[in-house]
Structure 1
Amino acid sequence: MKKSILASFLLVPALLLGACNSGDDTEKSSSTDSDKEVYKVGIDVTYPPFEFEKDGKYVGIDVELIEAIAEDQGFEVELKAMDFKGIIPALQAGQLDVAMGGMSITDDRKKVVDFSEPYFDAGVSLIVSDENTDIESVEDLKGKRVAVKKGTVGANYATSIASEVGFEMVQFDDSPSMFLDVQNGNSVALFEDYPVISYAIAQQDLPLKIVGDRLNDDQYGIGVLKGKNQEILDKINEGLENLKESGEYQEILDNYLAE
């Protein structure tokens, strides 16, 4: 799931992404080797195909990717599940070493986060009920209610055009609640990252459909606290490059996105 809004510098992420949600910190990572560095990685497990829970385990593109990078670079990871809007504040508070969650590389986030090289090309899509024949573009949202997920690029995009187009925006903490709001007819549409909604519609047989082409260009990156963890970032970039060269990176994507 995936994204997708400043009195002082330290308040930027709080305003953009909301307060940190302590969430469920139950550790579901494998046991670690005492002689290896262990990095705490924040993820949002309501964001398939990138991060979700299946049979009591955390799985998805981001999970497999960071675990493969860790293996390649000789460190271990502890996966920490939390609301997406809390990941960067937790990074700032020292509760995390690494931020993931299908996190889009944006200028606002770059103020507090150093990003890896991009690892996925995404983009925001407009979604409506599969029975809706009235909404054919964002211009048709005038006077309507639109659902978004807090702290995402989709929410940022909606905010940037809401006044011009003239629609009401309602925000949710997770993607499933946002999907359900449109399914139930409370909102006429939603904005979501293209790979996330495509996967959700196909895997869950959701009565939703994508309208038109992607609305922007968007890339995901892996983040560390700005100016503080260059060593970790170097390992991530080197591991990512090695995985791409070996073909393992593409294998991970194909596990979840191949048709």
Structure 2
Amino acid sequence: MTTCSLARVNSISGRLTLSLLAALTVIPLLAGSAQAGSLDEIKKRGLIVATEDDFRPFEFVKDGKPTGFDNELIEDLRKSAPFEIKQQILPWTGILAGVSTGKYDVAITAAIITKERKQSLDFTSPIADATHYYVKRKDDKSIAAIKDLNGKTVGVQAGSALLARLPELGTLLEKEGGKLGKVVEYTSYPEAYQDLALGRVDYVVNTIINLQTLVTEKPGVFELGQAVSGKSFPAWAVAKGNTELLEFLNGFIAKEKENGRFAELQKKWFGQSFPDLPVSFQPEF
């Protein structure tokens, strides 16, 4: 857990920042050996899939087994793909760097599409809505609207797109005569939620789906606030230029949508379906 000021936030451009730094470290070691695998290569050795270890409801581990929205889709992919699926369950940090350098073929996780990430990655069709909201303690009567976040301490995942877009919230607060308070960065969101419950931070920013899941699981502890960002969408990521694999994955997603499976899993894990998701998305940030 680390803390930073708004100036620090402005210098960080999302989860990709950590990923790019990691990539710069490992590229010399991987040169000549790690690169995006073609479909022909993948058919021979299998598809290396990286998923996150604890990002409910998209991916998490329960009773020693991977579960969640993305993990159920991976099981569907195993049944239809003409190659083996080799899944690696990892902490978030380093997943996208691993994809961009060829260590993994695809990140099947809810990676928010951003301008910076698109410099080194290509994204599938969006899989859900990822508009950013805040969550607070249910018994905290000092927060009833966005203006009440003035100067308060916020928790967010380190290296995340949500961290990169906190200045949007800062702008909203400035219009009300306020400002963004101290920012506390966490390795994972469960840590942030724990600190929120204990009063160590005043609110946490995450996507609407993640926070709806949290509030549903712990309605006596947390309360959902309002949107603090513009539209945002998560998708799966492959290395930049890996067109064959991208087309294959988009084809799989399209079939899951056509047969109703996609909406079924969205309702199961998100509590609602998203029938109007764009086929592709060009981010503003």
TM-score, structure 2 length as denominator?
Answer: 0.74
Distance 1:98 1:67 in 2: 15
1:160 Cα shift? 4.5
Aligned residue runs from structure 1 range 149-160, under 5 A: 149-160=157-168
Name the amino acid aligned to 1:209: E
Aligned residue runs from structure 1 range 18-97, under 5 A: 19=22, 38-97=46-105
- Look up the match of 2:271: 258
2:254 counterpart SS class: helix
Aligned residues: 236
RMSD: 2.6
**2:234 maps to which of 220, 223, 231:** 220
For residues 223-247 of structure 1, give each alpha carbon's deviation from its aligned partner in whole angstroms, at most 9, with x where no partner exists. 10001x2211111011111111111
1:83 Cα shift? 2.0
- Look up the match of 1:248: 261
**1:129 maps to which of 106, 125, 137:** 137
CA contact (8 A) 2:135 2:204 kept: yes
CA contact (8 A) 1:162 1:168 kept: no
1:98 Cα shift? 0.2
Name the amino acid aligned to 1:40: I
> Which moved further from structure 2: 139-148 or 216-225?
139-148
Q: Could you tell me which runs of 5 or more consecutive residues in structure 2 were left unpaired when the two chains were aligned.
A: 1-8, 10-14, 24-41, 273-285
Distance 1:183 1:203 in 2: 13
1:168 matches 2:182: yes
CA contact (8 A) 2:54 2:188 kept: yes
> Which moved further from structure 2: 65-74 or 50-59?
65-74
Identity %: 26
For residues 169-216 of structure 1, give each alpha carbon's deviation from its aligned partner in whole angstroms, at most 9, with x where no partner exists. 010000110001111111111101111111122124561111134632
CA contact (8 A) 2:100 2:121 kept: no
Residue 81 and residue 18 in structure 1: after superposition, are their counterparts in 2 closer, same or farther (change >3 A)?
farther
1:157 Cα shift? 2.1
Name the amino acid aligned to 1:45: D
CA contact (8 A) 1:105 1:115 kept: yes
TM-score, structure 1 length as denominator?
Answer: 0.81
CA contact (8 A) 1:18 1:151 kept: no
1:113 Cα shift? 0.6
> Of the two, which has the highest radius of gyration?
2
Residue 37 and residue 118 in structure 1: after superposition, are their counterparts in 2 closer, same or farther (change >3 A)?
farther
1:93 Cα shift? 3.1
1:200 matches 2:210: no
1:119 matches 2:127: yes
Distance 1:137 1:53 in 2: 34
1:55 Cα shift? 1.6
Q: Could you tell me which runs of 5 or more consecutive residues in structure 1 were left unpaired when the two chains were aligned.
A: 6-11, 21-33
1:166 Cα shift? 3.1
CA contact (8 A) 2:137 2:221 kept: yes
